[in-house]
A and B are shown apart, each in its own frame.
Chain A
Amino acid sequence: MENISNSNLGKAVIEIKNVSKSFGDNHVLIDFNLTLNKKENIVVLGKSGSGKSVLIKCIIGLLKPDKGSITILGNPINDVTLTEMDKIRAKIGFLFQSNALYDSMSVRENLEFPLRRHWIKINQNQVNEMVLQALEDVGLKHTVDMMPIELSGGMRKRIALARTLILKPEIILYDEPTTGLDPITAKEIINLMITIKEKYNTASLIISHDMNCVKIASDRIVILLEGKCYAIDSYENLTKSNDPKVKQFFE
């Protein structure tokens, strides 16, 4: 069952065609196809170990697919140089499951890091302004000079989100954004994701097991089964499905 009901929200920002990825005999992705459109939120659902994180790492270039092509904002990334890949990465925000905040740096330095490393020629005043703006977007302006260790789990997630926003990305990839958070904080993060989408017109690919996140944040849902895109449809349509493989995710 591969019901590709493209919602026609705009032109494609990510196009994944026939992507396969294996680790030894473990075939994680098999001829996987997906198109993410502008201003669209797609949630990828799948069992643990089904290849969701592998998919997102292939998109950002941390893993190289064995087969198939990935095009991001019109740029095929299969054979790009590292410099070209970095330019593409500057347009993508990546929220890591573990937040991946640099422990040895303050919140300010964490946020400045992508700005400085993407060699954007801006002066210190502009850097400060962008850092404070990103922190304001996540409601944590007062933490600017704190260290990550001083923050709660929810605050760290917000700071990590602020870091993904600092370069004003066109696409945001979320790797299990609500995992390990209490239901109230998880809901705050989901609402923040929706606010960011509306404010910055971003497209998002979200990996999540949190059904609340799936319901609220998704325009379309991809069900990843046995390395393949088993189904793509809206939350409403998928919840009505009689297919037992689809139903198991919504029961």
Chain B
Amino acid sequence: MDESLSLKPFLKETGKVSKFTIRYLSKWFLPPYEIKELIRQCYVIGYKSLPLVGLTGFIMGLVLTMQLRPFMVEYGVESRLPTIVGIAIIREIGPVITALIFAGKIGSSIGAELGSMKVTEQIDAMEVSGTNPFKYLVVSRVFATTLMLPVLAILSDAIALYGSYLGVNIKGETSFKLFWNQIFEALEFRDVLPAYIKTYFFGFAVGIIGCYKGFFCEKGTEGVGQSANASVVIASVLIFILDLLSVQITELLGFN
């Protein structure tokens, strides 16, 4: 049977990622704590991603509103435009699009950075210098992605809603206060909480896949490119799988 069609490599890789995740979970709360590196990573991963996430959020809100308007007008529910857009952004589009942008920017950067450190023996040098590279490089990065993506998703949601407000006012006239009132009146706890919680899992997935691919990078510089690429692809697919699971779980818990 063709190796590429076989399930064995896929299962083998899944096993390795699971083992890597278990290693992370068993290490992250144990000392020494790399607080300085964690703060640095939060700055690099969170703060430096804000312009990109903000821009895409703004465009997402604006375009979604402009695309929806003709249908809303046709069905005579134009006044419900802020509500529909608000719920769509908060519940689904905001977290997922932000996570995908985040996977593209941060997942690839972690995969390439750790991959190049691996092939140039920097990870070995770290170990020789009395540092646990797993704690210093992996734990700090995965923890930072897990913490930062929810923050970015909230900011992205807010910016997307502002973009939507501008979109609403291109062809109509809705006051700033009325726009937000409509959104907040329609939003419920069950809309916000599951969407917020799933971003932690998205952030974790981006971090763990990027670190795994970088940490076990092989084949020299060619491998670095492959690590960066695989980090983005696998993390993006995982985001959709986790999204699907979160819908099922929220359904089971009666949040939908």
| Contact A62 to B130, CB < 8 A, known contacts A96-B121, A100-B121 | no
| Contact A62 to B122, CB < 8 A, known contacts A117-B129, A117-B130 | no
Interface positions, chain A 54-113, Cβ under 8 Å from B, are 57, 60, 62, 82, 86, 89-90, 92, 94, 96-104, 113
Give CA–CA (A99, B128) in the complex, Å. Answer: 13
B14 located at the interface, meaning its Cβ lies under 8 Å from any Cβ of chain A in the complex: no
Interface positions, chain B 118-153, Cβ under 8 Å from A, are 120-122, 124-132
Q: Are A94 and B125 in contact (CB under 8 A)?
A: yes
Q: Are B130 and A100 in contact (CB under 8 A)?
A: no
Q: How large is the interface on A (under 10, 10 to 19, 20 to 34, 35 or more residues)?
A: 20 to 34
15 of the cross-chain contacts (CB-CB < 8 Å) are A86-B130, A89-B128, A94-B128, A96-B121, A96-B125, A97-B121, A100-B122, A102-B122, A102-B126, A103-B116, A113-B129, A114-B129, A117-B130, A117-B131, A118-B130
Most buried by A among B117, B124, B125: B125
Q: Are A103 and B128 in contact (CB under 8 A)?
A: no
Most buried by B among A62, A94, A100, A114: A100
Contact with A along B147-171 (1 / 0, CB 8 A): 0000000000000000000000000
- CB neighbours (8 Å) of A118 from chain B are 129-130
Q: Are A103 and B122 in contact (CB under 8 A)?
A: yes
Give CA–CA (A94, B122) in the complex, Å. Answer: 12
A-to-B contact residues, CB < 8 Å: 57, 60, 62, 82, 86, 89-90, 92, 94, 96-104, 113-114, 117-119
Contact with A along B179-209 (1 / 0, CB 8 A): 0000000000000000000000000000000
Closest 6 CB pairs between A and B?
A100-B125, A114-B129, A100-B121, A86-B130, A118-B130, A117-B130
- CB neighbours (8 Å) of A60 from chain B are 128
Task: Tell me, rounded to whole Å, the shortest Cβ–Cβ distance linking B140 to chain A.
Answer: 13
Give CA–CA (A96, B121) in the complex, Å. Answer: 7
* Contact partner, B120, options A94, A98, A119, Cβ 8 Å: A98
- CB neighbours (8 Å) of A103 from chain B are 116-117, 120, 122
Task: Tell me, rounded to whole Å, the shortest Cβ–Cβ distance linking A104 to chain B.
Answer: 8
* Contact partner, B124, options A82, A92, A96, A104, Cβ 8 Å: A96
Task: Tell me, rounded to whole Å, the shortest Cβ–Cβ distance linking B7 to chain A.
Answer: 23
Task: Tell me, rounded to whole Å, the shortest Cβ–Cβ distance linking A166 to chain B.
Answer: 10
- CB neighbours (8 Å) of B121 from chain A are 96-98, 100
Give CA–CA (A87, B132) in the complex, Å. Answer: 13
Give CA–CA (A117, B128) in the complex, Å. Answer: 10
